[in-house]
A = this chain, B = another copy of it.
Amino acid sequence: MSPAKKSDRKGKDDSPAGARIAVYDTTLRDGAQGEHVSFSLEDKLDMAQHLDWLGVDYIEGGWPFSNQKDISFYEEAARLKLENARLAAFGSTRRAKNKASEDDNLIALVNSRAPVVTIFGKTWDLHVTDALRVDLPVNLEMITDSVAFVKAHDHVQEVVYDAEHFFDGFFANRDYAMKTVAAAVDGGADVIVLCDTNGGRLPHEIEEATREVIRRFGSMVCGIHTHNDSGLAVANSVVAVQAGCRHVQGTVNGLGERSGNADLCSVLPNLELKLGLETVGRERLRRLTELSRYVYDTANLMLKDNQPFVGRSAFAHKGGVHVSAVQRNTRTYEHIDPETVGNERRVLVSELSGRSNVVEKTRHLELEKHPEKMKDILNEVQRLENEGYQFEAAEASFELLVRRIVGEFRPFFKLLGFRVTAINRDGSLDATEATVKVQVRNEVELSAAEGNGPVSALDKALRKALVKFYPVLEEMTLANFKVRIVDAQKATDAKVRVIIESRDPETHWTTVGVSANIIEASWIALVDSIEYKLLKGAAVN
């Protein structure tokens, strides 16, 4: 898409290509409000360092008045070496009854010593009268006073004003909404951020209200903060920037309360790659996928495979027609080059794929001369998929399957049996015990190990049996395992699919096992994981 072809009145006038848009990350504060999300203090410090590495301009660390963890964050964060970002502390305007200088919340913001302070205040008359329960003019004073008080401190380099519920307020009582913005400007705010706090507004509304603010307060930096309750957070951020905002707020992976905040992993590439604006810069944008996955790991959440730009499926091709076209010209079914956001193209194996996916994935084996083996592979994939296997997320197991069929695989060991026992006596659990019997060439090895659970006990016993034959196993670890019910209506009799992710110093790989028994399913994936490690390490004995 060449910029010259864009005949867009919005993008052209108000966001000239190359304009710099400041990025304000609130993963640590607004993101932590998400259901299932909770960060330890150490998590937050580590994440701040990673956000800086991505190149955001602001890192909102927390609300230092609301809990001890957030207070400690600002104390500890002082020792971080941030190259790009400045820390922002978040808090509300003063209470109606307090002087600004005597308001605990404002004092906490100042005491955080954060160089940027973000104050949110009420825009929507309904909130002023129903939630705060103060008169409308009093709220205006609260805003001006609070911004001015914070701004008067020398260490505070910048005051950001978050106009909470700005858009709802604008469409309910436009005059009053604009007065609240004026009150923040009067107090000395450096940035005015327009918030769609409830996430209910449509792009045309965002555009209209943003244009109006910029018309009136054009000399200010204007920002946008959206929520995804209508599935529109990314679009609303993009539209606001096109309408002239120069500051965009959001969270990594769109973490946040309810349906989440604007996902910076979509907003940034749209601004950089589609509109030609500058956020973290093209070079750093290549770190986006890695950062996204790091945040999921730290937040202990599952990856969202279909997440735009950074998801594992974002450039995954399954339909046979698409796969053959992409093989000819990647632009045919890819809106951007996956590498620009650090992601990669994948070709999936599935019943829908016809031959072309499997052909693509086995290209390195040069099966052109053995069409019957290709047919065997397709049949076996189909048979296993019917049993509940999925190889899309288990590429190491697929590789093993192919090699077994084409006769390029010699098993490294043979299982003769295992036994797992878990005992609970008087309500407290003993360690789980596993014994494993394997044969390597002509030698039979029986080993036993205890673990915290059945998979851990089996894993330990199996490695113990094998490591004397294959010392390279010392360097691999199991990084994660996932369990899915294949056939949920059968509940505990249903088949389960276990996915195991393993790591060694160089790389990581994923294997799959399916069985009605979770122990057996884990075992199958475990064995594949070890076989794959031995295979790729050329199995030096």
Contact = CB atoms under 8 A, between A and B. Distances in A.
Contacts of A230: 234, 266, 269-270, 274, 308-309, 335
Nearest to A5: B171
B202 A270 contact: yes
Contacts of A9: 204
Contact of A424 (B254, B351, B485, B523): B523
Given A230-B234, A232-B235, A314 B259 contact: yes
A456 interface: yes
Contacts of A432: 517, 519
A272 interface: no
B335 A198 contact: yes
B485 A38 contact: no
Contacts of A424: 415, 417-419, 520, 523
Q: How large is the interface on A (under 10, 10 to 19, 20 to 34, 35 or more residues)?
A: 35 or more
A496 interface: yes
A492 B459 contact: yes
A305 interface: yes
Interface string A39-75: 0000000000000000000000000001100000000
A493 B204 CA distance: 51
Contacts of A481: 485, 491-492
A274 B199 CA distance: 12
A454 B454 contact: yes
A453 B518 contact: yes
Interface in A452-468: 452-456, 459
Max chain B CB contacts within 10 Å: which of A5, A6, A332, A478? A332
A46 to B, nearest CB: 12
Nearest to A316: B35
A306 interface: yes
A297 B490 CA distance: 12
Contacts of A205: 6, 8
5 contacts: A38-B350, A203-B238, A231-B309, A258-B316, A300-B484
A132 B228 CA distance: 39
Task: State the copy count for this chain.
Answer: 2
Interface in A187-210: 197-205, 208
Contact of A488 (B316, B480, B516): B480
B429 A423 contact: no
A417 B423 contact: yes
Interface in A517-539: 517-520, 523
A244 interface: no
Interface stretch (A107-115, A144-152, A323-331): A323-331
Interface stretch (A18-26, A123-131, A155-163): A123-131
A231 B36 contact: no
A418 B35 CA distance: 34
A486 B306 contact: no
Interface string A419-454: 111111111010010000000000000000001111
B266 A332 contact: no
Contacts of A34: 306, 313, 318
B130 A492 contact: no
Given A1-B171, A263-B231, A496-B453, A242 B392 contact: no
A231 B229 contact: no
A245 interface: no
A257 B455 contact: no
